[in-house]
Amino acid sequence: MSRRSLDHTALELLVGIADSGSLSAAGRLVGMAQPNASRHITQLERKFGMTLVRRSTTGSVLTSNGVVVAHWARKILADMDKLLEAVDGLRAERSRGLRVSASMTVAEHLMPLWLGRFRQSHPDLTIHLEVQNSLRVFEQVSDGSCELGFVESPEIPNQIRSVPVARDCLVVVVHPEHVWATRGRPVGAAELATTPLIVREPGSGTRTTLDVALERYPRCPPLLELGSSGAIRSSVLAGVGPAVLSALAVADRVASGGLVVVDVEGLDLERTLRAVWSSQGPLHPAAGELIGLASDFGGRRRIDSQR
């Protein structure tokens, strides 16, 4: 017997008879007149090849076979209700949209590409994007104020799940008239650590990556702490001092000659960009699709940059 031919209305009527002891009462529960309800039960009996309901002038009762079938019908209908609740929940998620929080480098240089392509396949889904530093992204993911985050930090809290989506590299940049721009040899890691730098604020992924890379060297205080890559870039362009920024954030200025990248010896400034979400509860379906898209584009961008 094919499950596709199973009459769910007849199953509801069978359960209704078990609960009410009346075919007409069962019909009222499903919004059906008694003759139509009787027809559904008869068709179900023919399909199963057995009598399920014994009718009389005083009411209707289930046969022994009907009791067994009604028992399983009740389970099937309960599971069906759970399925419909889940579908309603998914619809509600889609109507509410997807809340995403991204650290600054990802938000400024990668998210526009990712979201532009994502919108082509999800034109009706609203994306709410907030731009924060990595520490704040972790907080929002943990407290449920966003479903998905993208960070640059190398350190991921234990209660956060993550997956790599792209690779990035920090670079030391200076004004073309800075002494490092024409010195002809790399800057050593120890020298970089003792040089006052223009840096991001604590909690940003760029700052954390730099601090981890230089943790075994004596450090001097920063020259300036600024809250965005754009502000740092402008400060370097004005000749304030050297800075360490994502290659993505300075590519255009380096290409135009406004900034100079300085080679650093003995220091690994590559980093992994990650998608992050809470370990509590399932991942929003659309968030999973966005992660996959980001991984495809992130890997492609990194491969292209190495050519």
CATH number at residue 83: 1.10.10.10
Q: In this structure, what token pair is assigned to residue 187?
A: 């800057």
Q: What is the pLDDT of residue 303?
A: 29
Asked if 74 and 138 sit in the same domain, the reply is no
Q: 138-143 — which CB contacts under 8 Å span 24+ positions?
A: 138/276, 140/101, 141/101, 141/276, 141/277, 141/278, 142/278
Asked if 187 and 250 sit in the same domain, the reply is yes
Spatial neighbors of 289 by CB under 8 A, at least 6 apart, are 118, 121, 122
Asked if 189 and 232 sit in the same domain, the reply is yes
Based on its alpha-carbon atoms, the radius of gyration of the chain, rounded to whole angstroms, reads 32
Q: What is the pLDDT of residue 252?
A: 93
Q: In this structure, what token pair is assigned to residue 154?
A: 């190398």
- Rounded to whole angstroms, the maximal C-alpha distance in the chain is 106
State how far the Cα of 74 lies from the Cα of 157, in Å rounded to an integer. 45
Asked if 39 and 136 sit in the same domain, the reply is no
Residue 139, phi then psi, degrees to nearest 5:
-65, -45
Asked if 259 and 241 sit in the same domain, the reply is yes
Asked if 153 and 13 sit in the same domain, the reply is no
Asked if 196 and 60 sit in the same domain, the reply is no
Asked if 70 and 147 sit in the same domain, the reply is no
Asked if 90 and 103 sit in the same domain, the reply is no
State how far the Cα of 218 lies from the Cα of 197, in Å rounded to an integer. 14
Residue 147 has a CB neighbour count (10 Å cut-off) of 23
CATH of the domain at 259: 3.40.190.290
Q: Strand 98-103 and strand 198-200: pairing?
A: unpaired
Q: In this structure, what token pair is assigned to residue 227?
A: 């809250």
Taking only the tens place, the pLDDT of each residue in 70-109 is 888 888 888 888 888 777 665 655 555 789 999 998 999 9
Q: What is the pLDDT of residue 281?
A: 76
- Domain end: 94, 114, 141, which one? 94
Asked if 137 and 240 sit in the same domain, the reply is yes
Closest CA to 150 of 18, 303, 297: 297
- Domain end: 94, 118, 153, which one? 94
Coil vs helix vs strand at 237: helix
Q: What is the pLDDT of residue 95?
A: 52
Asked if 154 and 277 sit in the same domain, the reply is yes
Asked if 123 and 245 sit in the same domain, the reply is yes
Q: What is the pLDDT of residue 102?
A: 95
Q: In this structure, what token pair is assigned to residue 150?
A: 């993208």
Give the Cα-Cα-Cα angle 126, 127, 131 (nearest 5 degrees): 155
Q: How many structural domains does the chain have?
A: 2
Closest CA to 59 of 90, 20, 92, 104: 20
State how far the Cα of 35 lies from the Cα of 300, in Å rounded to an integer. 65
Taking only the tens place, the pLDDT of each residue in 220-258 is 999 999 989 999 999 999 999 999 999 999 999 999 999
Q: Domain range holding 194? A: 99-305
pLDDT < 70 regions, the chain = 1-5, 88-96, 298-307
- Domain end: 71, 94, 117, which one? 94
| Predicted model pTM | 0.64
Residue 231 has a CB neighbour count (10 Å cut-off) of 12
